[in-house]
Amino acid sequence: MPDEKILNVAIAGNPNIGKSTIFNAFTGHTQHVGNYPGITVEKKEWLKIYKDIKINFVDLPGVYSLSSYSEDEVVTRNFLIDDKPDVIINVIDASNIERNLYLFTLLAELNIPIIVVLNMLDVLKSQGKIADTKMLEEILGVPVFSTIANRSIGIYEILDCLVTCYKNGNLKKQPIAKVDFGEDIKIELDKIDALILKNKNLSKFPSFWLSIQLLDNDPFALTSIEKTENETEILDQTKQSESHLKKHFGKKLETEITNRRYGFANSVAKTVIKKVYSQKIDISEIIDTFALNKYLGIPIFALVMYIIFKFTFSFSIPFVKAFGLFFSKLGQFAAAILPHGPLESLIVDGIIGGVGGVLGFFPLILFMFLAIAFFEDSGYMARAAFVMDKIMSKFGLHGKSFLPLILATNGCAVPGLLATRTLHSKRDRIITMFAVPFMICGAKLLVFALIIGAFFSEKSQTAIMFVMYLLSITLALSVTKLLSKTILKSESQYFVMELPQYHLPTLKGLFLKMWERGWMYIRKAGTVIVFISILVWFIFEYPKAPVNENLSKSEQSAVQLKYSFAGKIGKYIEPVFKPIGMDGNRGAIALLAGLAAKEVIVSTLGTFYAIGDDRSSQSLKEKIASDKDWSPLKGITFLIFCLIYMPCIVSVSVFFKETGPSFKWLTLLVVGSTAFAWTASFIVFQLGTLLKIGI
């Protein structure tokens, strides 16, 4: 009979070592995996039954320590202390074992059973080295397994170990190796430890771990003993021990403790890593001589982004045309078999016209995600953040703030906002969160592809998109500069980042990531966009205008538009939008609908142009291009407003939660971004009209 008890397993390790890939291999669950730090912001859980044992895997954020200086470290530390998992799977990058073992020294002090997983052995081998796992197992006192996570090599051996140890009760019997801090430090730790053990309110903490944290001046440890039984006694002893040891070592005790940890890690690494042959060429070093060059780094990054857009537009065009033709034919087919009336209009104009407008550009989204996934998984995107540090520092931030911007570009602003949790400074987090909505996310990409495709030739579309992308970065950095020099004025922190080895991504990993991100848009198309499309159809179709037999179909549609709710709303908001080149019935209403989700802008335009249409085979962009109320200038103005104005409701709610919640920052985001969008659009439209450009 299956054991109903659940084995709780935490997966912990440094960022960017394949931790989430191992989680996916264990569970079969597909989670976003990226080749740069900060991708896993919150813990992810998944229940798996293996050999009649229920195993709950928890993928914790990638961290370098268990301090209180960033959200990811806090999430990891709190889970390990409060939830006390049955076992920790500590994933270690075999090619950088010394750096990774530092975290092991911290985990070992929590008195939780540990299984060490050496990942990326293929990278270690490419460096001409091997790891003696048996020796590592003897030194650390824990089971050690070797894996190549992206090929699922070694996964079942770990699962078998988990189940066997759990059934035999061996998980609690491991004598895990701990750092030897020396007799002087140990004597003082024992004094503090004895006082902590007397305090019943601190029983949930491993006493020796808490003693070290107190000597290390950890804010969390100091807060934890506040208002407990013998708080004063513990604090006094800590101060005495700290003062005594500082005199003894002649330097800060935190430095000495850190040095002892790294000394342990260094000693273990030298013992277990063996060099089997001399590596002739280090590909990563060769590439980095160009990619990280102070003169070539930024131009290479710009070239990479141009390649991404070139690849996206060049390869997706045939598929976009095919999808557009499919939905056009689908609308014609539905119109032919459905009786003429409201139901026909709802399905053909509302649902097919609206949702089809969004899904027609689905291939473009997939190709964009595929291109970005390649550079992520290859290891280049981490270099992009490193290179951008030089620019970001001039705008009051550092390179790590660029990672949330990249995440927003990869699909949605929401993960970009959540990724700011990896920033240590609250000031840096807030500034970066203001910059994230300016990025051209996947939803905005649909709008940009539609408008650029309508008014510019295929040869120039990549260049126009690239310019708009550069504009988004420029605006984002300008906002960070303004905030860092005014209401959030202070010094930014230093940027420290570990760069992964370059490697060729697997096709399975690339296509899996492409589909995971693309699936988000299909889900939206089946839920939010369908609902909004129906709502938009209703406000354009009702109330019904009197039918005039003397009017043509297009003239009757124009009368209906003025008579409808949409026409009345448009007339009301027209004074606001007309100075920036948008009448109140088309672009303005689409932008209002876009507050729900930016993809809805496309579906709204799709619904609008489907209503009253003669069921022609023209695509949506062809209909916009032939509309006399549009022009290239109005199209560019429309895109500028779309780029800058208030983000979608979901992003706004996440922003509000992540900033405090704070109504002050929320108001500045909503009102400030929209006012900025109107001002920028007004200048562009009026200047373009004056110079007669694109009219």
Give per-residue pLDDT as tens, 164-205: 888 877 665 567 888 888 888 888 889 998 999 888 888 888
pLDDT over 60 at 38, yes or no: no
Angle at which helix 507-526 crosses helix 362-378, to 10 degrees, equals 140
pLDDT over 50 at 299, yes or no: yes
Give the model's confidence band at 665: pLDDT under 50 very low, under 70 low, under 90 confident, else very high: very high
Instruction: Give the amino acid at 23.
Output: F
Average pLDDT over residues 293-311: 87
Give per-residue pLDDT as tens, 369-402: 888 888 888 888 878 877 877 778 788 776 677 7
The pLDDT, as a whole number, for residue 1 is 38
pLDDT over 90 for what percent of the chain?
15
pLDDT over 70 for what percent of the chain?
89
The larger pLDDT score, comparing residue 343 to residue 249, is at: 343
The pLDDT, as a whole number, for residue 613 is 61
CB 447 within 8 A of CB 598: yes
The pLDDT, as a whole number, for residue 531 is 80
Question: CA–CA distance from 172 to each of 107, 139, 156, 206, 213 (Å)?
Answer: 15, 18, 22, 15, 24
**Hey, what domains does the chain have and what are their CATH numbers?**
3-173 (3.40.50.300), 183-249 (1.10.287.1770), 298-691 (no CATH)
pLDDT over 60 at 33, yes or no: no
Residue in 136, 160, 534, 196 with CA at minimum distance from that of residue 350? 534
The pLDDT, as a whole number, for residue 297 is 87
Give per-residue pLDDT as tens, 129-163: 888 999 999 899 899 998 877 677 888 888 888 88
Which range (2-11, 36-45, 450-459) has the least confidence? 36-45
Residue in 90, 145, 88, 99 with CA at minimum distance from that of residue 121? 145
Average pLDDT in the chain: 82
Which range (3-7, 92-96, 599-603) has the least confidence? 3-7
Give per-residue pLDDT as tens, 97-131: 888 999 999 999 998 999 999 988 877 887 788 88
Which range (331-335, 469-473, 497-501, 543-547) has the least confidence? 497-501
In this structure, what token pair is assigned to residue 389?
């540090």
- How many C-beta atoms lie closer than 10 Å to residue 281's C-beta? 7
Which range (53-62, 175-184, 450-459) has the least confidence? 175-184
Model pTM score: 0.66
The pLDDT, as a whole number, for residue 34 is 44
Average pLDDT over residues 477-505: 75
The pLDDT, as a whole number, for residue 525 is 65
Place of tokens 């609902």: 531
The pLDDT, as a whole number, for residue 39 is 43
The larger pLDDT score, comparing residue 388 to residue 213, is at: 213
Residue in 565, 516, 559 with CA at minimum distance from that of residue 542? 565
Most confident of 406-410, 437-441, 591-595, 649-653: 437-441
Give per-residue pLDDT as tens, 414-443: 778 877 876 767 788 899 999 999 999 888
Instruction: Give the amino acid at 431.
Output: I
Give the model's confidence band at 85: pLDDT under 50 very low, under 70 low, under 90 confident, else very high: very high
Cis omega (within 30 of 0) for bond into 546: no
Residue in 470, 463, 469, 472 with CA at minimum distance from that of residue 313? 463
Give per-residue pLDDT as tens, 70-83: 777 888 888 999 88
